[in-house]
Each structure stands twice: as C-alpha cells, then as structure tokens.
C-alpha cells in the first residue's frame, strides 16, 4: 500500500515540476505566492531548484581550470528563513594559487500589488572577505527580501586545484525540491566517487561519455573523452537536527570525489590512490613516513638512556609514550602529515598530530616494537570506506603484538596506553605497515570504564544526612575525571562536586592517582546534606541513592532518526549503606529488580536488602554495546525510564 | 538575533566585537624588547598574586601619544606570566586593525619558568585574519595575533606593539585588570599630549587602592602595583563596576576622517547628529505615499507609529555591515528602502525616516545592548555604546523601538536594553535618558493548572501560563518553532515529569499587551509515589525557578539581582476516586529583603470529588546587597526549594 502511495506522489510531483521553469529568471507567480512547503509545512525556507555543475575548462594559454557553477532558487517562507537570503560561499587559496568567484548575479522576486517584481543584487550587496591565508569568503546579500520572497542567484568558482573536486552536496537543512548535479571530467583525471553511506538517501548516478577535441594550435589537436556523472533528484527532505548526535553533517547525503590517477597524453600514469597498497606507498614515499621512520638521531640519546636495562616491550612502550607526551605538546592542529617535521617538533616542544604520533611510532620502532601508523578520520571529517588519502585527517600509533593491538595517541595527556581521546574514536582506522600491507583497526573502545561509588550514610533526627563517599574511576571515566578537574584548585573542585547535589557541604576531599593516567582514581569525601530526607506525618522518606540517582531520563524525544551511540562501554555500580536511626524502623523498601535490554547489551540491577538496623541498596548499570539503531531507540528509552523510576523510589521509615 | 548579536560572541570575541561594533577601542603599547628590566622568572611571583590567578600581569606599560587631532599612537609592552592553561586567554598578544589604523610593530618573546628565552616572534610571525564576528556579515576589521602552544606552565610572554590610528574619538582607557583570575604586579599608563589638545579623564574605582599618578594638560600618568586577582562569583555585578580604570576622551577629535569637538553630551550628540545622521532620512515619493496610505486611517500618532514599526518588521531584515565610517554612520534610508536590510543604525534610521514622513518626531538613540545593564556614562561624554534603538517622545512614558527584530512587539525592550542610561541624539544636541524599567510585578509569570490523578500515579493536566515583561521576551519565540522542538522544550524544561506526553499545545501571542499565553494539555506517569496504601503527592507541579548557588563562606563581591520577578502558580489536583487527603503542609509565608514566598494548600470539594489546591507566590526583588548577604540569600533559595518540595499524603478509603 505504502509503495503505491509513494509512487503516486512521485508521479504527481513530476508533473508539477515539469510545469515549473528552472531557467534563471523564469520565476513564476505561483512560486512567490506559495505560503508553506507542501511536503514539509514547518520548513522556513526551501531550495526550489539547485543546479551544481562541475567541469574542466581548457584554455590554450592557461591550461585547465576546474569550474563549479552553482544556480539556486530559494523560497523564503517566513522570517526564520531569512538566514537563507544571504549566501555565504567559502573557497581557498594557497600561496599564489587562488580560487576565484566569477559571474555572481542574483535577483529577488516579490509580489507587489499583484505584480511580480524583480530586484537585482547589486555590487554593494556582494562582500568579499579574506578570512585567513588559506580561506576566502564571498557573501551575497539578497535585496528586498520579505516573507514569501523567492531569491535566485548563480556564481562560478574557478579553481587552479585540479586534483581536488569539491564535495557535491545532495541534501540541505531545508528541503530541496529539485536537484540537478553533474560533474564532467576529462579522461586525463580519474576520480573515484562515493556517496555518504550514513545517509539514508540513495541517488542513482547516470554515467555517460562523449568525445571532445582540443586544438593545441591551428593544425594539431588532441582527441579525448569527457566522462559525465549526473544526478537528478526531486523532493529531498531536509536534514533534521537531533540530540546526542556526533556530527550532523555525517548523516547528510553528499557525493565525494577522490583522485585515483592522472594520465596525460605522452606521459606515464601518475598514481594517487587506487588500492590500499597504493595509499600506503604514497603516504610512505610522498607523505614522508619513510623519511621520518628512518630518522632517529634527534631522539636517539634520550631514548637509549630512558630504555637502558628495560626488557619488557610494553614497559618500553609506556616509557616512550610518556616521553613524547612530556616533550611535545599538541598545538591543536590536525593532519596525518607533518608540518615542520618530527625533529623540529621534538626540538620546539610542540607539534601537530602527525608530528607527535609519527615521532612516537618512530621511537617505538627504534626500540624494537612492531609499531605502525594508523590513519584516522575525526568525527567531523566523516568516515572513509574506500582506499583514500584525503579521507583521513589524523594519525595514531598501533603496536601489533601476538594477540592484540595497542593503540596510542600521544597528543592527549590523560589517556592510558590503549585508550584514545574522543576525537580519535571514530569507528575504524587503517593501519598502514612499512611493507605496504594495511588493515582496518577498530577504534571504538571495547573495555568497560567503571565508576563505582560507595556511600555510607547516617540519618539524623534533625533530617540532616551525614555520610562518607568513596568513588573509584577506571578507564575513560578516569580520563574524563582528569580532564574535568585538571588545573583547578581545591575550592573550585569542591564547588564543582557540590553542584547539583542539593543543599550540601562537602569536606575532607581526598583524591588518589589523579595525576597518573592509567591508574584507578579514588575520590573520598564527607558530606552533610540538608534536604535529602523528608518527614511527613511522623514518617521519614529517603531516596536511597541520594545525589547518585539518575533523576531524569536523558532520552526525551518520542522517536529518533539517527542511531544512538554511547561514548564507551560503561559500568556504574552505586552502593549505599544506611544506618537506621534509633527509635525508627523500616516500613517499606523498594522492590529489587533486574532489567535486561537487548539480550544483555544493557543491564540494570536494583537490589535493596535489610539486616537489622542496616540497609544496603545497590544499583548497577552496565552498558556493553555502544551503538543502537533508531529502531532500538524506544526500548532504550524505556530501559532508562525504568532505571530512573527505581532510583527515585523512597524508603519509608516510621517511629517505633 | 538582535542587533549586534553580542551575546553569543561574548566568550571568544569580546574585545573584537566591542571594537567596531560601534565604538570603544582596545589597545596596546612601548619601546623595544629589552631583557633586563624585569626578571622573567615565573617562580619569583608573590604568593598573594598567584592566589586565584590563572595569569599575572608582571608589567604592563601603555603609552599613548596624541600626535594630532587625527593621529594617535599606542605603544604597548605587556609582560605576562601564564600560570596554567586557563590563563592563556589573558596573554592578549594581538592587535586589531582596519582601513583607518595600522600595526607598525609587533613582536613577542616567550620565556620559560626559569627566565630562559625559548621562542621569539617577529612581526612577520604574527597570524593575520579577518575579525568579522559571527553576527556580522562584513567589516574591515582584522586581527594579527601570536599563535603559541605552551609546553609547560608557568611561562612568560613579553609582547610589544605599536599601533597607529586616525580616529582619536576613542582613546584607549587604562584597565589594569581586564578580567577575572588575573592579578597585576605592575601596570602603568602614560598619555602624552604634546599639542595640548584639551582632554578629559574620569577615574573609576581607584579609591582603596594605591595609585601613583600625575596629571597635567600635556600628560596623564598612572601606575599601580600588586593588585590581587578577582574570583568570579555568581550573581555579582559586572567587573567594570568594581575594577579600577581610567577613561580618557579628547575634546577635539576625529572619527574616520570626520572631525569634531565636544565637551558635553549635548555637544557630542550635536556633533553626531550633524556629521553622522543629518540628511540621511530622505525617502522616495512612492514610499512616502505608501506609508501615508498605510497610516491614513490611524486614529493617533501612536497607532501610526505602531503600523510603521510593523511595516519595518515585515519588510526588512538585520544584516550587519561595518565598513569604514559605516561602522558609525547609518546607511541612507533610501538605500535601506531599496535593499531592505541593514544593521541597527540603518534600520533605526530607516524607521525614523518613515515616522518623519508622517510628521512623527523620533530620535536615534545610542545604548549598550546586553542582558547586563550597562549605562552610557552620563558624567563622561565620549563615544560610547554598542547598539542603537529609536526613541519616540510621548506623553507619559516615551516609546522605545528595537528596529533589528522582526518579531519584537511595538515598544518592547526586554532585558536587552531595559533600565539603563542611553544617549538620545536630537538635532539640537544629545541628552541622557533612562529606558523603561520592568518592575518586579511586571515581570510576571502566572500559571493555572488542573491535574487529574489516577490511583496508579499517572496524571492528566491542563495548564495555562501567562508571561509578561521580561518573561515575555524569554518565551514568545517558542511560537515559531517546529512542533517537535516545542515538545522537546517542555520535556527538557520540565524533566521531572516521567514519560511526559504532550497532547495539545496552543500559543497566544498578544503583541499589543505584550503577553504570551501557553495552553497545554499533557499527561505523565508516576507523579505520585506509593508508600503502602498511601500515595505521596508532590505539591510543586512546576518546580520554582530558584538559583542553584554554591556555598561560599569567603564571598567578596556584592550580590546583585538585576531584574525582579514574580511567579504566581495555582495547581489544582483532582484526587483519584476513593482517595482522601490524609495530610497537607501548613500555610507558609516567608518575607526577606530578597523577596517573598507564600505557599497555601487547601482541601476542597469539586463535583463530589476531593481536590487539593496549591497556591504559590514567589517574588524575587531587584537589588544590590553586600557580600555578607550572600549566605542569607542562598538560604532563602534552599528554603524555597524545600518548602516547594513538600508533599501531601492521600490515602485510599476502601
């Protein structure tokens, strides 16, 4: 039934669309009069038509130029859509090579007293900005925009960077009614293309060829083939924001291009990256990996001294890991290549990701460990699937041992061996070995990070709760703790601890191992809580988990489009020991339960027991699987709802 | 979305925004780097200066030379020790420039904690990028900054620069303590005025600290030593209200080539009018005709103004373009009329022009926009403010228009421009006036809710909430969000409802009365909790908006509540069939300096069933209290929380 319905919709749409004229300037009154988007009535604006045309222009004097021509017609439905009336275009320069914008023009269409009126974009509505040494921006500010306006603009970006074709966006934050995208590439350039697999949308690509000829001068010419890739689509839904998303653009539909090789007439094939072996080779040779790994003179003395007498390979690795972290600070620049080289990073004490982790790898190799670089893409950079160089923007180090691989990232000061900071934990990375072989390496953590809390509490007659807390953190929970409390003084630490715990005073705070990444952190303190106990009609009510309880379900939305991904597998073990005050007895305690989610992917246990004047309440949450599809969302939400309910159920005491 | 959009940027771009967004300069310094005049060893800093500090200004020397009415040079030499990563943002090894100013010299040296030189930055090593803030479309502001990654702390930066400016209407002020967690070992400021251009200066918050100074017509000189760091404390006044500083202004000055003379607000306003505003309100005959038709049947000028304001809101959008004199002068009304966009200056001037076409007088008004109320200093005429609004003189209270918003009601300022001194610019001169104060009883949020309970703990509720005054400005935007976002808004804000399900949402935005009404129907689970055969019924159906304040026995700064609020809530609970109230809390009324809290719970019968009616009135006053009051205020907040947290017990009769 649903299929039939969809077909009908598509057919109808096609008929309607054909009636529309998408030539520049042919905006109709109907378009300006439309009050809301027919398929997405809440849309503030919509792209009625978008044409994206990329091709290589060949000039006898200057050679090739890569041209991308954009034509967009946008409907502004209401005031919240005004943002779309300013088009911001970012392009690049590098030294003397710079991209240029040309042919920018624009028109705004309104209905004024029943007439369709045009207002042209003037030069003074076009602003150029040199953002930095690498980035340029042009902003087109459309005139006379009001609710209902249709705006239309076009421009071309002419680029000297022939080997990098920009991503072709296929989705936007507003609906796209009709999209025509085409990329035409002469046979001299061979690109691989891929769609974003995380997007649920699928676009067929129509491929065709045609022959072309280039006249070198009046008498000689070159015949060649133009490969054309075209996408034509209608009714592309808007990309919608959602809570707990790693990076929204990772879920957008787009088409990405990766150069494989160039083959010009009378020249040999120049290979870029067609296979993983090719990728590895090009990175080792052109990317400077071979050179970096062959160079040890700058650290030799330091490393020799550090490792003298040490035999255990993991101990060696740990010493080197700490040496790099002490010597070189990350300057917050990404990249899997070096900028100034490892030697100068070592000397200056600062470096980018490439410098730090290649230096680390080089030292590990020097010390006889089987270490190799692992290429990584950070979350905002997407996830590479096919052999690629440009899909990566980060590198870490992996030590391959008999039955395991130990991953190291020396840009982070608080991780232990085998732990990665969040930016590097993006699905999978590619290890590329010196011998040219390579393999996918899982970057997601499989070890469990624990937070165990034990709380001993005494109930006072005056309704004040006094007690002691012992918290233990391991794994990434310990790392998070170190990151949160780094560089703050005791007063600030206490203030942060007291935050959101009610009317509490915390004292005698002690921490252990805070400065030793990899070791379990212990945090101890005493507290006095004023509003933790309620007295009603001579009975006392206590929510046993006090401030350890999860009071609210973090999952608010009723349904979900994208998967839910937890940061890492976790275990939360909260134990509360309560001493019942003299003269009181326990009237009721919450029922113990065990709840299981997705066959053990998540479990929650709540156990309350009484032994004379002592009560013990234990709440244990374990999340073993970190990724849940949108279909599992509802069950996950219910699982959390039950947990919240149990954690906030009171124990009732009455006077004897 | 307003105006200058200062708020979202504050964190990263504070100085940058202030800079051109209108007025206000920023500075920097002195001679060449020499390594001897101070010990750069970080280890020698006095403990009283490292307490609560993330960075220490070891020695800052600012020298400003007024070379002519249209030329001044600022030489900065700033030695700063960074104690930890949070101190990095105090280094300030950067300078801004634009088409009317240039950085003539810039260099920096980094020293490690022992005072060894570890890195040197020459002029060409400074990064250069545009300084267009995210709320701005375009400006000619650029910044050159040092990019350095510290390997270890502490370390010391010696920064020197020389900047030359054509605009002398801003003279960089002396502000030794630029922010929290920053202490000062020594800071000095010398203003040289060899030509003897008449100038004025104003000292602020210098009492109580030891300042060395000498002032003459030709030179001002200030220096201070050993100022400890301020700790940021919640609900304290803005740092400018208590940190020492000296403001300077010339009586003869130049702004991007436009010269002027002023010693009073009247003269200053007159200069702005004559040179920046006059003659920019002409409109085409077609537009005038259109506006005349639009307002022809309006009964009075207020109604005309209301229609014109609506016209502006429906036909323009906010776009900030700050180029050259355009940073201070509005775009011509004719031009705005054509392109239909502009910044605060342009849109205000345009609205003024439309009003003028109907013989309605209005005035361009300069203000400091922002939730923190900042006054135009009435005692110190100079280029001030960062935003512009429109004033319409009116009998009784004046009318104020925020012309950059497409949705704000007529004559609504909200917390962005309320209750502060502003500069009204009239053709005959400038005048200081005060914008509207939203009194405690005007900032009212009133809730009526009827809640039907069942014996399992679930509920069905209908709720009507009316928001006025400042509260109006905080909620009315929800009207224009998607249904999904509206739903999420309630689920997040009222997270204490379990399994909340919003069944109906209706909103009424009464723009004339500036009152917003939410009408909601929703249900949820497990609102009451079971205790044997009794149910505990929480009486705070909505949780009162109190401040969650840290303990602070060492509070140093005064306590400031910048706007009063009134909350009046009525919750009527319909008990499940077969249940009777067993106990309800007693009536309470708390009265403090900070406000009042009143809670009354009564049992009623309605259509044969028992109901429990909760009435809660919570008032928090605007005011400034000494630091010692902080503990009492915090207690007041916690007392309100625990009183609101009380429960009724209901019991099954069968």
pLDDT at B17: 31
pLDDT at A19: 60
Chain B residue closest in CA terms to A329: B151
Is residue A390 predicted with pLDDT exceeding 80?
no
Nearest to B74 by CA among B60, B58, B53: B60
Q: In this structure, are strands B429-434 and B421-426 parallel, antiparallel, or unpaired?
A: antiparallel
Average pLDDT, chain A: 90
pLDDT at B35: 43
Which residue among B85, B338, B646 places its CB closest to the CB of A487? B85
- A63-77, A162-176, A553-567, B100-114: which has the minimum mean pLDDT? A553-567
Q: Which of B117, B124, B339 to mutate to test the interface with A (most CBs of A within 10 A)?
A: B339
pLDDT at B654: 67
Enter the DSSP assignment of A591: P
Q: Which fold has domain A449-655?
A: Jelly Rolls (2.60.120)
pLDDT at B504: 97
Between CA B376 and CA B368 the distance in angstroms is 7
A136, A93 contact by CB (below 8 A): yes
At residue A60 the predicted structure's pLDDT band, cuts being 50, 70 and 90, is confident
Q: Which fold has domain B27-258?
A: Immunoglobulin-like (2.60.40)
The token pair that represents A315 in the structure block: 């101990």
At residue A273 the predicted structure's pLDDT band, cuts being 50, 70 and 90, is low
Q: What is the radius of gyration, based on Cα positions, of chain A?
A: 31
Average pLDDT, chain B: 91
Is residue B36 predicted with pLDDT exceeding 80?
no
**Average confidence (pLDDT) over B219-233:** 96
pLDDT at B457: 92
How many C-beta atoms lie closer than 10 Å to residue A309's C-beta?
A: 4
Is residue A63 predicted with pLDDT exceeding 90?
no
Between CA B603 and CA B584 the distance in angstroms is 8
Chain A contact for B338 (CB, 8 A cutoff):
yes
Range(s) within chain A of domains with CATH label 2.60.120.1130: 449-655
Give the class (CATH, top level) of B265-434. alpha beta
The token pair that represents B653 in the structure block: 């009769």
pLDDT at A532: 87
Render A6-73 in DSSP notation, one character per residue. Answer: HHHHHHHHHHHHHHS--STT---HHHHH--S-SS-TT-SEEEEEEEEEEEEEEETTTEEEEEEEEEEE
At residue B92 the predicted structure's pLDDT band, cuts being 50, 70 and 90, is very high
Contact B338 A119 (CB under 8 A): yes
At residue A154 the predicted structure's pLDDT band, cuts being 50, 70 and 90, is very high
Enumerate the residues of chain A whose CB falls inside 8 A of the CB of residue B638: 503, 530-531
Spatial strand order of the sheet with A651-655 comes to A533-536, A539-542, A651-655, A584-588
How many C-beta atoms lie closer than 10 Å to residue A266's C-beta?
A: 5
pLDDT tens digit sequence for A531-572: 888 888 888 889 999 999 998 999 998 889 888 989 999 999
Is residue A524 predicted with pLDDT exceeding 70?
yes
Please give the interface size between A and B, counted as residue pairs whose CB atoms are below 8 Å apart: 140
Q: Which of A77, A144, A540 to mutate to test the interface with B (most CBs of B within 10 A)?
A: A144
Nearest to A431 by CA among A357, A379, A332: A357
Enter the DSSP assignment of B437: P
β partners of residue B223 = B188, B212
Cα–Cα distances in angstroms (integers) from residue B459 to residues A399, A607, B613, in the given order: 58, 28, 15
Tell me which residues of chain B, numbers 474 to 513, contact chain A at a CB-CB cutoff of 8 Å.
Answer: 480, 482-484, 487-488, 491-492, 495-496, 498-499
Is residue A518 predicted with pLDDT exceeding 60?
yes
Chain A residue closest in CA terms to B151: A329
Q: In this structure, is the dihedral angle defined by the CA atoms of residues B69, B74, B75 and B77, taken in order, positive or negative?
A: positive
Q: In this structure, is the dihedral angle defined by the CA atoms of residues A327, A333, A338 and A340, taken in order, positive or negative?
A: negative
Between CA B53 and CA B56 the distance in angstroms is 7
Give the class (CATH, top level) of A2-270. mainly beta
Cα–Cα distances in angstroms (integers) from residue B564 to residues B37, B470, B555, B559, in the given order: 52, 9, 22, 14
A101, A89 contact by CB (below 8 A): yes
pLDDT tens digit sequence for B592-611: 999 999 999 999 987 777 89
β partners of residue B520 = B463, B505
Per cent of chain A over pLDDT 90 is 70
Between CA A414 and CA A421 the distance in angstroms is 9
Is residue A3 predicted with pLDDT exceeding 50?
no
Identify the residue whose tokens are 């950085």: B103
Enumerate the residues of chain A whose CB falls inside 8 A of the CB of residue B340: 143-146
pLDDT at A69: 97
pLDDT tens digit sequence for A359-370: 999 999 999 999
Q: Which of B528, B531, B633, B646 to mutate to test the interface with A (most CBs of A within 10 A)?
A: B531
Give the CA angle between residues B613, B617, B618 to the nearest 5°.
Answer: 140
Q: Is A502 exposed, middle or buried (0-12, 13-18, 19+ CB in 10 A)?
A: middle
**Average confidence (pLDDT) over A58-76:** 92
Between CA A639 and CA A632 the distance in angstroms is 11
The token pair that represents B382 in the structure block: 């100079």
User: Cα distance from B112 to chain A (closest Cα, Å)?
Assistant: 12
Q: Which long-range contacts (CB under 8 A, 24 or more apart) does B604-610 make?
A: B606/B572, B606/B574, B609/B574, B609/B575, B609/B577, B610/B575, B610/B579, B610/B580, B610/B581
Enumerate the residues of chain A whose CB falls inside 8 A of the CB of residue B647: 534, 536
User: Phi and psi of A296, rounded to 5°?
Assistant: -130, -5
Contact B649 A348 (CB under 8 A): no
The token pair that represents B270 in the structure block: 């007159």
Range(s) within chain A of domains with CATH label 3.10.620.30: 276-442
Is residue A7 predicted with pLDDT exceeding 80?
no
Enumerate the residues of chain B whose CB falls inside 8 A of the CB of residue A539: 531
- A123-127, A215-219, A649-653: which has the minimum mean pLDDT? A215-219
Between CA B641 and CA B548 the distance in angstroms is 10
Q: Which of A44, A487, A533 to mutate to test the interface with B (most CBs of B within 10 A)?
A: A487
Give me the architecture of the B444-652 domain, per CATH.
Sandwich (2.60)
Per cent of chain B over pLDDT 70 is 94
pLDDT at A383: 76
User: Cα distance from A436 to chain B (closest Cα, Å)?
Assistant: 35
pLDDT tens digit sequence for A580-595: 888 889 988 999 999 9
Between CA B542 and CA B527 the distance in angstroms is 12
How many C-beta atoms lie closer than 10 Å to residue B203's C-beta?
A: 15
pLDDT at B170: 94
Between CA A468 and CA A528 the distance in angstroms is 9
pLDDT tens digit sequence for A404-437: 999 999 999 999 999 999 999 988 999 999 998 9
**Average confidence (pLDDT) over B396-412:** 95
Domain boundaries, chain B: 27-258, 265-434, 444-652
Give the class (CATH, top level) of A276-442. alpha beta
pLDDT at A591: 92
Which residue among B118, B150, B338 places its CB closest to the CB of A143? B338
At residue B38 the predicted structure's pLDDT band, cuts being 50, 70 and 90, is low
pLDDT tens digit sequence for A439-468: 999 999 999 999 999 999 998 778 899 999
User: Cα distance from B455 to chain A (closest Cα, Å)?
Assistant: 17
At residue B6 the predicted structure's pLDDT band, cuts being 50, 70 and 90, is very low
How many C-beta atoms lie closer than 10 Å to residue A554's C-beta?
A: 12
């Amino acid at each position: 039934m649903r299929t039939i319905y969809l077909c009908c919709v598509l057919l109808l749409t096609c008929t309607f669309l054909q009636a529309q004229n998408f030539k520049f300037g042919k905006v109709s009154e109907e378009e300006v009069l439309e009050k809301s988007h027919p398929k997405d009535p809440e849309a503030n604006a919509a792209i009625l038509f978008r044409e994206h045309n990329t091709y290589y222009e060949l000039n006898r004097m200057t050679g090739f130029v890569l041209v991308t021509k954009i034509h967009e017609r946008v409907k502004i439905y209401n005031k919240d859509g005004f943002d779309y009336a300013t088009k911001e275009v970012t392009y690049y320069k590098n030294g003397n090579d710079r991209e240029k914008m040309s042919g920018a023009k624009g028109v705004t269409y309104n209905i004024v007293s029943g007439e369709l009126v045009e207002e042209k974009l003037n030069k003074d509505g076009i602003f150029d900005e040199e953002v930095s040494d690498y980035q340029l921006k042009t902003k087109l500010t459309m005139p006379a925009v009001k609710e209902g306006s249709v705006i239309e603009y076009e421009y071309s970006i002419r680029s000297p960077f022939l080997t990098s074709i920009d991503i072709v966006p296929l989705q936007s934050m507003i609906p796209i009614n009709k999209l025509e995208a085409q990329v035409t590439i002469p046979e001299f350039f061979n690109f691989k293309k891929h769609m974003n697999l995380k997007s649920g949308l699928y676009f067929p690509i129509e491929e065709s060829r045609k022959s072309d000829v280039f006249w070198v001068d009046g008498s000689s010419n070159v015949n060649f083939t133009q490969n054309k890739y075209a996408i034509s689509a209608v009714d592309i839904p808007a990309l919608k924001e959602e809570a707990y998303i790693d990076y929204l653009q990772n879920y957008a539909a787009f088409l990405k291009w990766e150069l494989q090789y160039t083959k010009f007439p009378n020249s040999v094939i120049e290979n870029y990256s067609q296979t993983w072996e090719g990728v590895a080779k090009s990175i080792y040779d052109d990317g400077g990996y071979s050179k970096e790994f062959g160079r040890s003179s700058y650290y030799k003395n330091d490393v020799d001294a550090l490792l003298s007498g040490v035999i255990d390979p993991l101990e060696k690795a740990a010493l080197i890991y700490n040496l790099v972290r002490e010597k070189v600070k990350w300057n917050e620049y990404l990249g899997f290549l070096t900028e100034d080289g490892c030697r100068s990073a070592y000397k200056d004490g600062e470096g980018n990701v490439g410098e730090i982790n290649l230096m680390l790898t080089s030292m590990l190799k020097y010390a006889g460990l089987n270490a190799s670089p692992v290429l990584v893409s950070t979350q905002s950079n997407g996830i590479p699937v096919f052999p690629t160089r440009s899909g990566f923007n980060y590198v870490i180090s992996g030590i391959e041992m008999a039955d395991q691989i130990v991953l190291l990232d020396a840009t982070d000061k608080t991780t232990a061996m085998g732990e990665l900071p969040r930016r590097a934990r993006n699905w999978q990375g590619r290890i590329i070995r010196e011998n040219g072989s390579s393999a996918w390496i899982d970057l997601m953590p499989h070890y469990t990070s624990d937070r165990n809390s034990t709380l001993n509490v005494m109930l006072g007659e005056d309704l004040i709760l006094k007690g002691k807390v012992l918290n233990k953190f391991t794994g990434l929970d310990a790392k998070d703790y170190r990151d949160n409390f780094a560089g703050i003084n005791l007063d600030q630490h206490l203030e942060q601890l007291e935050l959101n715990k009610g009317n509490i005073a915390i004292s005698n705070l002690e921490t252990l191992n805070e400065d030793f990444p990899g070791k379990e952190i212990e945090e101890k303190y005493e507290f006095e809580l004023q509003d933790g106990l309620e007295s009603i009609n001579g009975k006392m009510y206590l929510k046993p988990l006090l401030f350890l309880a999860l009071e609210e379900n973090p999952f608010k939305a009723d349904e979900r489009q994208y998967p839910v991904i937890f940061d890492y597998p976790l275990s939360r073990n909260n134990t509360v020991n309560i001493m019942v005050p003299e003269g009181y007895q326990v009237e009721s305690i919450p029922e113990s339960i065990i709840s299981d989610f997705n066959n053990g992917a998540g479990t929650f246990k709540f156990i309350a027991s009484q032994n004379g004047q002592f009560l013990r309440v234990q709440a244990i949450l374990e999340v073993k699987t970190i990724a849940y599809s949108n279909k599992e969302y509802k069950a996950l939400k219910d699982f959390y709802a039950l947990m919240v309910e149990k954690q906030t159920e009171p124990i009732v005491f009455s006077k004897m | 979305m307003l105006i200058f959009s200062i708020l979202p940027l504050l964190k990263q771009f504070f100085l940058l925004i202030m800079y051109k967004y209108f007025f206000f300069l920023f500075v920097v310094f002195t001679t060449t780097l020499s390594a001897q005049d101070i010990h750069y060893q970080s280890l020698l800093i006095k403990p009283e200066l490292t307490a609560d500090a993330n960075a220490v200004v070891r020695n800052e020397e600012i020298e400003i030379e007024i070379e002519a009415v249209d030329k001044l040079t600022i030489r900065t030499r700033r030695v700063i020790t960074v104690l930890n990563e949070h101190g990095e943002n105090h280094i300030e090894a950067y300078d801004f420039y634009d088409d009317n100013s240039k950085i003539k010299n810039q260099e920096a040296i980094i020293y490690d904690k022992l005072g060894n030189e570890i890195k040197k930055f020459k002029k060409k090593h400074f990064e250069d990028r545009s300084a267009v803030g995210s709320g701005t479309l375009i400006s000619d502001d650029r910044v050159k900054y040092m990019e350095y990654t510290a390997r270890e702390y502490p370390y010391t930066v010696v920064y020197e620069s020389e900047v030359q400016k054509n605009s002398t209407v801003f003279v960089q002020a002396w502000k030794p303590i630029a922010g929290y967690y920053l202490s000062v070992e020594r800071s000095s400021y010398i203003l040289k005025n060899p030509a003897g251009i008449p100038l004025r200066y104003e000292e602020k918050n210098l009492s109580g600290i030891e300042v060395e100074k000498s002032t003459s017509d030709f030179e001002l000189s200030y220096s201070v030593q050993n100022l400890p760091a301020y700790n940021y404390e919640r609900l304290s006044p803005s740092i400018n209200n208590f940190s020492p500083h000296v403001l300077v202004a010339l009586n003869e000055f130049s702004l991007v080539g436009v010269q002027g003379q002023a010693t009073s607000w009247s003269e200053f306003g007159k200069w702005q009018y004559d040179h920046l505003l006059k003659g920019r309100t002409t409109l085409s005959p077609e537009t005038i005709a259109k506006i005349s038709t639009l307002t022809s049947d309006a009964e009075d000028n207020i109604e005309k103004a209301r229609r014109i304001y609506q016209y502006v809101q429906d036909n323009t959008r906010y776009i900030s373009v700050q180029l050259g004199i355009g940073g201070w002068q509005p775009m011509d009304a004719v031009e705005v009329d054509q392109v239909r966009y502009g910044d605060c200056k342009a849109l205000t001037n345009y609205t003024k022009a439309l009003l003028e076409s109907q013989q309605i007088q209005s005035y361009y008004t300069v203000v400091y926009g922002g939730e923190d109320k900042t006054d135009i200093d009435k005692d110190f005429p100079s280029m001030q403010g960062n935003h512009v609004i429109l004033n319409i003189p009116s009998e009784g209270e004046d009318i104020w228009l925020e012309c950059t918003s497409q949705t704000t009601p007529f004559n609504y300022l909200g917390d962005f421009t309320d209750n502060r001194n502003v500069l009204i610019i009239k053709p005959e001169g400038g005048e200081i006036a005060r914008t509207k104060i939203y009194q405690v009883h005007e900032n009212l949020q009133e809730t009526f809710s009827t809640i039907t309970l069942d014996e399992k703990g679930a509920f069905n509720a209908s709720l009507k909430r009316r928001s006025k005054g400042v509260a109006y400005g905080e909620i009315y935007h929800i009207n224009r969000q998607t249904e999904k976002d509206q739903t999420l808004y309630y689920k997040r804000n009222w997270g204490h409802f379990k399994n909340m399900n919003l069944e109906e949402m209706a909103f009424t935005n009464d723009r004339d009365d500036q009152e917003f009404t939410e009408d909601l129907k929703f249900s949820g689970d497990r609102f009451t909790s079971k205790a044997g055969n009794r149910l505990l019924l929480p009486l705070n159906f909505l949780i009162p908006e109190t401040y969650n304040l840290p303990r602070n026995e060492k509070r140093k700064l005064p306590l400031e509540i910048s706007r009063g609020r009134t909350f009046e809530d009525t919750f009527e609970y319909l008990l499940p069939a077969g249940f009777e109230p067993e106990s309800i809390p007693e009536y309470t009324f708390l009265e403090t300096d900070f406000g009042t809290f009143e809670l009354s719970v009564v049992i009623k019968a309605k259509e044969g069933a028992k109901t429990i009616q909760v009435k809660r009135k919570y008032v928090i006053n605007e005011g400034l209290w000494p630091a010692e009051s902080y503990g009492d205020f915090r207690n007041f907040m916690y007392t309100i929380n625990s009183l609101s947290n009380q429960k009724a017990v209901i019991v099954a009769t069968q």
